[in-house]
Amino acid sequence: MNRTGTPSRLEEFLRRIKSIPGGLAAYWSGKLSGWLQSEKLAEEASALPIARDEIRRLRKSALHGQTAFSAPQALTPDEQSLVVSIREETERFNRNNLTRTAAYWNVFSRTPELHWAFLAHMVSRNGGWTMTDLKGGLLPRLLSGKRAEAIFALLERANGLIFQDAYPQLRLYEASVQRKQPLFHLLREFDVSAFMRPVWEQFWAERNSALLTVALIVNEQHYIEGRVVQDSYFRRTVLDTPAFQAQSLLQMNMIVFPYLAEGNSAVLSRPDTAYRLAGLVIEDFTDLRERIAFGKKLYAILFAVPGITRGARDFAAGKPYSGSRADYWPHLFAPVRRYAPAAVYTAKLEGGLLKPGAEPFYSPKLEYVWPDVPFQAVDRYDWHDSCKDAFVWFESPHPPASFEITNEYTFSLNKLELAVLAGELLFE
């Protein structure tokens, strides 16, 4: 004990280490609870079917399109005006994570058949929460300012590139609906991969939202593969560093979908703590195949499980996005610090709850901690030119066996706090 009668850092750390066996028991109990809740939620699961015949027709269209669509076409004045308008809109909304996230939601609100827009909205929220974590109450004690800036740069570049490629596609579809005619020959004006034109044309004719969503997942992950994931700068400064690779151990690379659990008694008494979490952990962000499989599983969680679909849409519609994790768990996170951060960290958590009298974790709003980043020019090449077969990923997506991760998420916070305590003891 120190002179104030509170445990010293070493005593607190040793106490937490000694509690690990019990903590692991609680973790596996929580894991089992998550499995059971996942199983219960999945009882209502519906299919997101992609028929083999659809894939066969799409593959045939793609092969035909390699020659049929090669010659450029002169644009009408109306088409030229539309292209300019979409370019300006894309640039305006690609200003930062907040504007991108709102733009995705607005598209989905207008055209709910575009499932990918809602998936992108929810993943974009997670991107912003990760960005603000870098300036929050825990990670700055583990990462240098320079390292945090490098990770932010990677997140911003990846999310900005995906928006720059995908948003014009979504808006062209909306324009096609408004004009009652397909306008997908204009995709080339936005340097969209030739892979996507037959996909959009088949979607226009058949309206299979699952097929379109999987295609967009495949396209966008290939789009950032060479431009971000294999980029020498991002490999050297972020992806190949021990700090980034430690994320799997600490489960910091978790995508969560807050959802309002139906029948949750907390809805009436404590609406601010009513949200539970569905989602997954991606183990290796650098693996293209894993990112695509991960995206498909996230899509299935969000759209094949009605309880998650309804609950996540209610959350998105009812909780304006700020970049702070207080958006969904204000009982654990706060967007404003009441006090300056102490030089020595004091443990806040006891299990999944704050200790009595402990301040919530600082989770700032994004606009207060990260500036807008001017969008840099894009390397212009078509990933599909060197891809042997992009259709190998076109199986019907299904949710994983376990996706309810409320307890797992609180356990990851405990691990992160323990890492902070260990780091301070190591370097004191």
Q: pLDDT tens across 82-135, in order?
A: 999 999 999 999 999 999 999 999 999 999 999 999 999 999 999 999 999 999
- What tokens were used for 423? 């780091």
The sign of the torsion formed by the CA atoms of 168, 173, 176, 181 equals: positive
Spatial distance between the Cα atoms of 160 and 94, rounded to a whole number of angstroms: 6
Task: Give the count of domains, the chain.
Answer: 1
Does a structural domain hold residue 66?
yes
**Banded model confidence at residue 64, pLDDT cuts 50, 70, 90:** confident
- Residue type at 295 in one-letter notation: G
Segment 173-188 mean pLDDT:
97
- What tokens were used for 12? 């607190």
Q: What is the pLDDT of residue 265?
A: 43
The sign of the torsion formed by the CA atoms of 95, 98, 99, 103 equals: positive
Segment 394-415 mean pLDDT:
92
DSSP string, 5-16: SSPPHHHHHHHH
For residue 137, with 0-12 CB atoms within 10 Å meaning exposed, 13-18 middle and 19 or more buried, which class applies? buried
Does a structural domain hold residue 2?
no
- What tokens were used for 292? 């695509």
pLDDT one-digit tens code per residue, 14-42: 655 555 544 555 555 666 777 888 999 99
pLDDT one-digit tens code per residue, 252-311: 689 999 998 765 544 434 444 579 999 999 989 999 999 999 999 999 999 999 999 999
- Residue type at 81 in one-letter notation: S
Domain of residue 164: give its range.
Answer: 9-427
Segment 222-229 mean pLDDT:
97
Q: What is the pLDDT of residue 268?
A: 38
Q: Which range, 99-113, 335-349, 373-387, 394-408, has the best average confidence (pLDDT)?
A: 99-113
Does a structural domain hold residue 141?
yes
Does a structural domain hold residue 4?
no
> Quick one: DSSP state of residue 349?
E
pLDDT one-digit tens code per residue, 75-96: 999 999 999 999 999 999 999 9
**Banded model confidence at residue 323, pLDDT cuts 50, 70, 90:** very high
Q: What is the pLDDT of residue 3?
A: 55
For the cut 90, the answer to whether the pLDDT of residue 427 exceeds it is no
What is the average pLDDT score of the chain? 89
The distance in angstroms from the start CA to the end CA of the chain is 18
For residue 269, what are the contacts with CB-CB under 8 A and spacing of at least 6? none
Spatial distance between the Cα atoms of 159 and 95, rounded to a whole number of angstroms: 11
For the cut 90, the answer to whether the pLDDT of residue 360 exceeds it is yes
Where on the phi/psi map is residue 197: left (φ > 0), alpha (ψ -120 to 50), or beta? alpha
- CA Rg value for the chain: 23
Q: Of 326 and 342, which is predicted with more confidence? A: 326
Spatial distance between the Cα atoms of 221 and 213, rounded to a whole number of angstroms: 12
Does a structural domain hold residue 3?
no
pTM of the prediction? 0.91
Return the closest-CA partner of residue 418 out of 13, 97, 29, 76: 13
User: What Å distances lie between residue 117 and 121, 123, 142, 263, CA to CA?
Assistant: 6, 10, 34, 28
Segment 378-396 mean pLDDT:
91
Segment 213-236 mean pLDDT:
97
Segment 208-228 mean pLDDT:
98
For the cut 70, the answer to whether the pLDDT of residue 63 exceeds it is yes
For the cut 70, the answer to whether the pLDDT of residue 408 exceeds it is yes
Does a structural domain hold residue 114?
yes
Does a structural domain hold residue 305?
yes
Q: What is the pLDDT of residue 34?
A: 78
Does a structural domain hold residue 1?
no
- What tokens were used for 363? 């989770």
Q: What is the pLDDT of residue 70?
A: 57
- Are residues 221 and 292 in contact, defined by beta-carbon separation less than 8 angstroms? yes
Q: What is the pLDDT of residue 8?
A: 60
